[in-house]
Structure formats: structure tokens, C-alpha cells
Amino acid sequence: MSAPAQAPPPASSPVSSPVSSPVSSRRAWYAVGVLTLAYAVAFVDRQILAMMVEPIRRDLQIGDFAVSLLLGLAFAAFYTVLGVPIARIADRSNRRNLIAAGILLWSLATAACGLARNYAQLFLARMSVGIGEAVLSPAALSLITDSFPRARLARAIAVYSIGMSTGGGIATLLGALLLPQILAAGTVSVPLAGEVRPWQAVFFLVGLPGLVVAALMLSVREPPRGASRGAGGLPLATVFDYLRRQRRAVLGHFLGMSVLTIMGYGVGYWIPSFFLRSYSLSPEAAREYLFAYGILSTLIGAGGIALGGWYADRCQRRRSDGYLSAVLLGVVLLVPGYALFPLMPTPELALALLALGVLGGSIPAAGGAAALMLLAPGRMRAQLSALYYLTLNLLGLGLGPSLVAALTEFVFRDPAKLRWSIAIVALSAGACAALTLASIRPAFRRAVAAAGEFDAQAAGRTTNSSAQVSAPRFSQE
């Protein structure tokens, strides 16, 4: 363990504060509230498919691995590829309007999943959901960072991140409550679409309410950009030059959080199927446990994120790598929870271990994103965020569900062995994430200092409005 580093500069200094013009607290928290609602809707639309794995497998006559591609790769393909160009737009244009357009697109695409008549059409619709959701987090994190001083940044991001656990929990609750009734009703008649399968109707129910959230987003005010006020985004070459110079901290953070996400998505997306396939439960009994898991995920997840945001800010006030300390605490709780719950002899014990895993998995949400904001100079926050989410989702979302499915279908060759696939992926990914994040702490402290130096130099430069923005010099590791 490295020695404690010097505390970060006070919030009043230009380096430490992400905002150079004041944003009223009420306006800032209102923006966070709307963005949190948007994030919750995004996760409902993203994760509702996991609740319908079994009827989709049956109706489309596909196996676990094909389903895993719908859960992960189909969504992640454009979500990751388009993140960087969208973030460049976010660094140069109105982030509020961009987010509203993204919400509109992914909501319509989710509803379009209900029109899919075969596997290829459902795959394409899921890709379109990913295109819309690619807009949200890079632009939202940049907007939040320009609305709050550093001393409250992790807490603001924690509130935003509550949308993740809330949305995932709501998706589970909707699946447990609505799906049995819709399945029992047989085919459903939908206006303009005609007769559809029960699982298709669910996509209409969860997709269309997002249109209201898109309209609500237009009531948020765009804040002034912190160190980059009025300057526009930096050239992409500058972003990659920064990555090269601070590669150990930045890429180590990307990799560690991505492997952690492999565990999150790889385990989380298969929990509904785990209860349906394990313990010889009837479908009705399995859904009762899923309902309990949905409540647990919503309440403990939201509480854990709020606690994690408070703890992360507290750690960061004491040492400049405090956000990483908060993330590592979450990993310590997450790994045993997610690795051991599928091996429990009863569903009650599985739920108890899942509670530990959900708590551990929620704590890194705010600290990981806040750590990224410290690593990123002001004028490249959205672009660096997009690269972060590209890595996070290409590995975590693209690989996580498919790793579990591949072990189940091609190694164990038995759907009932899903529990062993979950345990193996959780233990392997969790150990790798912990080792990676713990090893980069000294480099992280140096990179935070370099980002502050970059912003201080940027704030002192004068640029012609028609000239291309050049990069201030910054220190190398």
C-alpha cells in the first residue's frame, strides 16, 4: 500500500473546481434529477430483455449464446463505436439538446423491439437502442461536472448513478409482475402493430414512456463549461496524446472498471434465468424470488450508491486517490457476493448473498465515474468519458453475458449448470479488477495532478475564436 498523498487543492482553486462560472444549487440538482430519471429509463429499456430470456428462447428457437448476443453485443456494438464522435459533439455543442435527442431515439427503438418478428430484426432493434443510449453518460457526466464544485462532485454523480440501480430494479419488478399476466393472456393486440407475442408487448410498455422524459430534458438549462468556457472541445489528437502520457493511470482505470463491468453484466443479466432454472422452482415461485430481488436491487442499490458517493468524497478529501479507495471497498463486497450466491443450496441464501453483491456493486458507481472526471482535463471530459464507456461496454457489456452463456452452452452443455458459469466469471473478473485498480494508485495521483496542471494552463491561454485549439503542455508520468 502506497503512502498517503497530499490532499487535493481546496474547492475554491481553479484547478480543483470544475466550474468557472457559478451554477445555482437548485438548478444544478434539478438537472441531476432529470438526468437520473433518464438514466433509470435507459436501464429499464436496456435490461428488460433479461427478464424475457426464456420466452424469447422458446419463440425464436435460439440458445443461450444467441440470447447473450442480444443482451450484450447487439446493444454494445453501436453504443461503443458511436460514443467517441457523439462525445466530440457534446464537447462542442449543447449537451441538453443532445441528451434529449438520444432519449427520443432509444425510446422509439425499444418500442421497435416489439415489432421484431425474427432474431435478425430484434438484433437490429437492440442495436438502435444502443445508438440512442450512447449519447447519455458522456454528455451527462460533462454537464454534471460543470455544475458542481469538486467537493460535491461524487455525491452529484452518485445521485445520477442511482438511476442505474433503480432502472435495473424496476426492469426486474416489471418482469416479475407483468410478464406472467401478459404470458397468460397469449397474443396481445397492439394499435397499429396488430397481434404480437406477449414479450413483444412488454417492449411497447417500457419504451414509449421515455418520450415524456425526452420532453422533460428540454427544461434543463445548459451550464457554462468549466475550464473550457466557450472554447469548444480539444482535437482528438490531443486527447490521445494525453492518454499516451498518462496511459498507466487512465488505461489502468479503464481496464479495471471494464473487468468489473464484465462481472456486473455477466452476472446481472443471467440472474432471472438463474432463479428460473435452479432449485426446481415452479415459474410462479421463481418469479416471487425475482420480485424480492427487484426490491432488493432497487433499495440496496440506490442506498449503496448514495453511501458510495458520500464515502468517495470523504476519501478524496483525505488523499488524492480516495475515489479509487472507495471503488476497491465495493469490490471487496461484490466479489464474494456474486461469486458465492449461485452456489447456495437454497434460494433464500442466494438472495442474502445477492444483497451483499448488490451493495458492493453499487459503491463503485460514483467513485469510478468521479475518478474519471479527475483524470480528465476540462475540455476533454466528454471525449475521455466516451472512450471510457467504449472500453467499459465493449468488454463488460459485449463480453460479460456471452462469457456466461458460452460456458453454459459450450463447456457444461447443460442449461441447469448456469450457476457454475456465473460463479466462474464472477470470481475471475472480480479478482482481475481488484488487482488492476489497486496497482494504479500511484500513477492515478500523478495523473490527477497533470490534469489540474493542464486545466490551469488552459485557463490562462487566450485563443482566437477562429483558430484551432492547441493543447497546453502537461507533465508526463
pLDDT digits (tens, 9 = 90+) for 323-338: 999 999 999 999 999 9
* Residue 432 parent element (H or E): helix 418-439
Q: What is the pLDDT of residue 379?
A: 75
Rounded distance, CA 419 to CA 353, Å? 14
Q: How far is 116 from 113, CA to CA, in rounded Å? A: 5
Which residue range forms the structural domain that includes residue 58?
A: 25-460
pTM reported for the whole predicted model: 0.76
What pLDDT does residue 363 have? 87
Within-domain flag for 471: no
Provide the pLDDT for residue 393.
Answer: 80
pLDDT value of residue 152 = 80
H or E stretch at 190: strand 188-190
In this structure, which amino acid lies at residue 81?
A: V
Write down the H helix ranges in 10-81.
25-47, 53-60, 64-71, 73-81
Whose grid coordinates read 426486474? 172
CATH of the domain at 29: 1.20.1250.20
Backbone angles phi, psi at 146, to 5 degrees: -85, 0
Q: Is residue 390 part of a domain?
A: yes
Q: Is residue 10 part of a domain?
A: no
The ranges of the chain with pLDDT < 50 are 1-22, 227-232, 462-477
| Residue 20 covered by a domain | no
Which residues neighbour 7 within 8 Å (Cβ) at sequence distance 6 or greater? 317, 318, 319, 320
Q: What is the pLDDT of residue 435?
A: 95
Report how many domains make up the chain.
1
- 3-state percent breakdown (helix, strand, coil) of the chain, nearest 5: 75, 0, 20
Q: Measuring CA to CA, how many Å separate 314 from each of 6, 160, 358, 366?
A: 14, 18, 22, 12
> Residue 196: helix, strand or coil by DSSP?
strand
Q: Is 117 helix (H, G, I), strand (E, B) or coil?
A: coil
The reported pLDDT for the residue numbered 332 is: 92
472 in a structural domain: no
Domain assignment present for residue 14? The answer is: no
pLDDT at 422: 96
297, 168 contact by CB (below 8 A):
yes
298 domain-assigned: yes
In a domain, 13, yes or no: no
> Which residues lie below 8 Å from residue 301, measured CB to CB, with a gap of 6+?
162, 164, 165, 166, 168, 169, 358, 359, 361, 362
pLDDT in tens, 94-118: 999 999 999 999 999 999 999 998 9
Contact (CB, 8 A) for 182 and 201: yes
Over residues 257-274, the pLDDT tens digits come to 999 999 988 898 999 899
- Tell me what percent of the residues of the chain surpass a pLDDT of 90: 41
